[in-house]
Amino acid sequence: MRHLGMRPRLSRLLVLALLVPAACSQPAEPVEAPASGSLDNGWAKIEGAYVRPSLPPHDLSAGFFVLENIGEEDLVVVGVESAMAGSAELHTMVEVQGVMRMRPAESFLAPIGGRVELAPGGNHLMFFDLTEAWVEGMSIPLVLRLADGRSLELKVPVRLPESSS
């Protein structure tokens, strides 16, 4: 039931919802289901998406996910947005004179039947100017923009990366 033309209005509503203090005259709001960090819409599958707790005082966070292309067209992620971040970018890691540094990336490609994996130390999402600190237990709304105009919306949990052992 989601139409292209509705997106701007939806995002305005999201922003409004964030600006309205939680403690107004409304009776207790239903408890929101925890963010799953997953999505399966028939042509794209996302598993294990999450964002890191923010790093004060810089208001930064990074996000990760595995996107699997289960459709019949390439999935080219060209942007990311969150109603809880002033701006967000796709980032990749490159080695510069022996030091790994992050750089903005143009896009992430999940070819037909393939996948793209974002993980600490590699490709990631980067979030700036967070509207509030991101702490474990919160759910963060994300929108991934695709080159062909489609988008993927999901809610992801805030958590630390699983320790690699």
Q: Which chain residues interact with Cu ion by CB under 5 A?
A: 91, 102, 126
Q: Which is nearer to Cu ion, 5 or 104 (CB)?
A: 104
Q: How far is the CB of 27 from Cu ion (least distance, A)?
A: 41
Yes or no: say if 118 and 124 are a contact pair by the CB < 8 Å rule: yes
Residue type (1 letter), 123: N
Q: In the complex with Cu ion, which residue's Cβ is closer, 10 or 66? A: 66
Task: Please state the closest distance from residue 5 (CB atom) to Cu ion, in A.
Answer: 33
Residue 1 CB, shortest distance to Cu ion, in Å, is 35
- Name which of 7 and 101 has its Cβ closer to Cu ion: 101
- Name the nearest CA neighbour of 65 among 32, 90, 29, 97: 90
Instruction: Tally Cβ neighbours within 10 Å of residue 73.
Output: 13
Q: Quick one: tokens of 23? A: 């403690």
Q: From its phi and psi, is residue 116 left (phi > 0), alpha (psi between -120 and 50) or beta?
A: beta
CB of 102 to Cu ion, least distance (A): 4
What's the chain's Rg over C-alpha atoms?
17
d(C-alpha 126, C-alpha 93), whole Å: 12
Q: Closest residue (Cβ) to Cu ion?
A: 91
| 74 vs 89 by CB, closer to Cu ion | 89
